[in-house]
Chains A and B, each alone.
Chain A
Amino acid sequence: MTNTIEAGGLTKRFGRTDALRGVDLAAGPGTVLALLGPNGAGKTTAVRVLATLLKADAGQARICGYDVVTDAVQVRQLIALTGQFASVDDELTGTENLIMIGRLLGFGRATARSRAAELLERFDLTGAAGRAAKTYSGGMRRRLDLAASLVGEPQVLFLDEPTTGLDPRARSQVWETIRGVVAGGATVLLTTQYLEEADELADRIAVMDRGLVVADGTPAELKSRTGGQTLVVRASDRSETGQVAAIVADVTGTVPEVTEETGLVTAPASNPALLPAVVRRMDEAGLMAAELAFRLPSLDEVFLTLTGHHAENGPGESLIDDEGRAA
């Protein structure tokens, strides 16, 4: 028993929506498992089942060997959760939020207070410690939320879309924090819609689509399955898009995606040497490129490759979250 998170055959149905259709997950200590997928893929439902907030209809899940249903009391002593909608108390100050969590975890007054001060310092929130959380910026709130999750030094940390809506600077701060937590030996399970985020942080990625894990592996494995990178070319003259697409098809040996409105031609490509080849061919044909690049595939492109369809929100779930609450 070395996995800190183990789940097998999880299913969950809300009304007519199958949120989970048999999900298996596993993660070991000191690692990050990323659940990657669009809205409605079942990521949040999976996290809520693992964090003892929701009972699955079928299947089993264990945290450090404790069953999330029958041993929920023990599981809650091992985990911490940072929800999609930052769950700090707006009315309380940063310090009060953390003291409250400490007290709920059974810390004495003095211990709770010093732990709060220590975490605020670590999350660069000391200056805002005495201000109500509702005055915080998005990034500060998320940091406070993370700090609240770390008051009890959890073995397993669940982060539901921890960087959604954050600016790049705040996002990299959150990433740094997550790396620190993992270095301390904890397991992190995070959900994300960004391949870049999963690639940055995760030891393993499970790609979810409509309640199923459709692919899993290390970031490198997944990227090689999706062609690693994406070749992006846009002709400076829109009327030449067809010619560009033909060249890209020829060079990469795939059928490129052509976005009519923008004239963007994209194709999965694993070999960086393809780039000069495209340049040469376009040059020979007298075509000018307005845009020419290699980049990581977007979630949508990963989806297209892995599932054969575009990443799309699940039925009726764009405005309603997994619990049927208005998002």
Chain B
Amino acid sequence: MTTLQIPAETVTPPQIPLRRRIGAGQALAHSLTLAWRNVTQLKHSPEKLLDVILMPIVFLVLFLFVFGGAVAGSTHAYLELLLPGLVAQMAVFATMGLGTALCEDIHKGVFDRFRSLPIARSSPLVGAVLGDTARFGVVMVVLTGFGSLLGFRFHTGVLAVLAAFALAYVFYLAVCWISVLIGLVAPSPETVQGIAFIFIMPLVFGSSILLPSTQTMPGWLQAWVKVNPVTSLADAVRGLTVGGPVATHAMYALAWAAGIVLVAFPLAMRMYRRRV
């Protein structure tokens, strides 16, 4: 079979018992180790959190004072509508750094090492998504902290508020897989944001996050706002934080989250196998 002839060797490699497959428990452990890697990176370079620290502040101030008086009569009344809407918006926006970071990792060759290690195939991607949770945490803390400085108050109980953030988190995790997918198909890290914006802008702004009422919109836009899961997420978060209907909106948002994962996760895994 070979043309290279090796001098006779008597040494045989030591017989180590080798695992034939990676179990689910191990896969989770690998993912958590890689999530730890991402969180540690943030610890060393906190400036990477600058976008998620500034984004909620800038959006809150801008929207509140630009639209507040016109939409709700006063900035205070608008804040009650806006802040839950921004929870939904930030849950989507905060995923954008992930794709860029992933694309950078792939270009640097770190993933080559991961792929030559006996770890679950999905671990580098799952780990990246789980590690990105830190950014979600920061964005939500800054948003609610700064919002309450401006006068926002929760009108519901602690459990309802926690449920609102849990719902936003689940949706965020789902959208993360879209970001991962873009990170895997983008030709370079610089292009990731541009591609992501094309998908994210209509999703975020063609929704009820800024205006709960769609009456002044043209019919086609009303239809889009209605089916847009970000609308359902924003409405469910409103219900859970300042009062209003929750169940239908929440179920709809969760169904969309599940749908996104079911489509984006296998696609991302396929791209990952092909790309890296």
Is A14 engaged at the interface, CB distance under 8 Å to the other chain?
no
Q: List residues of chain B with CB within 8 A of the CB of A9.
A: 1
Is B51 engaged at the interface, CB distance under 8 Å to the other chain?
no
Q: List residues of chain A with CB within 8 A of the CB of B115.
A: 52-53
CB of A53 within 8 A of CB of B112, answer yes
Question: Residues of A at under 8 Å CB distance from B?
Answer: 1-4, 6-9, 24-31, 33, 48, 51-53, 60, 64, 66, 73-74, 76-81, 83-93, 96, 100-101, 103-106, 132, 148, 155, 158, 185, 204, 206, 213, 216, 325-326
Q: Within the complex, which residue of B8, B21, B37, B117 is in contact with A105, where a contact is CB–CB below 8 Å?
A: B117
Stretch of B40-48, B166-174, B219-227 with 4 or more beta carbons under 8 angstroms from chain A: B40-48
Q: Within the complex, which residue of A51, A92, A155 is in contact with B40, where a contact is CB–CB below 8 Å?
A: A92
B interface residue count range (under 10 / 10 to 19 / 20 to 34 / 35 or more): 35 or more
Is B73 engaged at the interface, CB distance under 8 Å to the other chain?
no
Question: Residues of B at under 8 Å CB distance from A?
Answer: 1-14, 16, 18-22, 26, 29-30, 33-34, 36-37, 40-41, 44-45, 107-110, 112-119, 188, 276
Closest to A145 in B: B113
CB of B2 within 8 A of CB of A106, answer no
CB of A87 within 8 A of CB of B117, answer no
CB of A73 within 8 A of CB of B20, answer yes
Closest to B45 in A: A91
A92 touching B11 in the complex, CB below 8 Å, given contacts A3-B6, A24-B4: no
B contact patch SS: loop
In the docked arrangement, what's the CA distance between A149 and B214, Å? 58
CB of B3 within 8 A of CB of A216, answer yes
Closest chain-A Cβ to B168's Cβ sits at a distance in Å of 28
In the docked arrangement, what's the CA distance between A232 and B53, Å? 65
Closest to A216 in B: B4
In the docked arrangement, what's the CA distance between A63 and B41, Å? 34
In the docked arrangement, what's the CA distance between A204 and B115, Å? 28
Closest to B106 in A: A325
CB of A81 within 8 A of CB of B112, answer yes
Closest chain-B Cβ to A277's Cβ sits at a distance in Å of 36
What 9 A-B pairs come out closest when comparing CB atoms? A87-B109, A76-B118, A28-B9, A91-B41, A8-B1, A81-B116, A85-B109, A103-B33, A74-B18
In the docked arrangement, what's the CA distance between A269 and B30, Å? 56
In the docked arrangement, what's the CA distance between A204 and B30, Å? 37
CB of A26 within 8 A of CB of B7, answer no
Q: List 22 A-B contacts (CB under 8 A).
A: A1-B12, A2-B6, A25-B2, A28-B11, A30-B11, A31-B9, A53-B116, A64-B13, A73-B18, A73-B22, A74-B18, A76-B116, A78-B13, A84-B109, A87-B110, A87-B113, A90-B108, A91-B44, A104-B34, A158-B116, A213-B4, A216-B4
In the docked arrangement, what's the CA distance between A106 and B25, Å? 11
Q: List residues of chain B with CB within 8 A of the CB of A4.
A: 13
CB of B2 within 8 A of CB of A26, answer yes
Q: List residues of chain B with CB within 8 A of the CB of A80.
A: 116
Q: Within the complex, which residue of B7, B12, B21, B116 is in contact with A51, where a contact is CB–CB below 8 Å?
A: B116
Q: Within the complex, which residue of A78, A86, A204 is in contact with B4, where a contact is CB–CB below 8 Å?
A: A204
Closest chain-A Cβ to B82's Cβ sits at a distance in Å of 35
A100 touching B37 in the complex, CB below 8 Å, given contacts A24-B3, A87-B108, A92-B44: yes
Closest to B273 in A: A55
Q: List residues of chain B with CB within 8 A of the CB of A90.
A: 108
CB of A25 within 8 A of CB of B4, answer yes
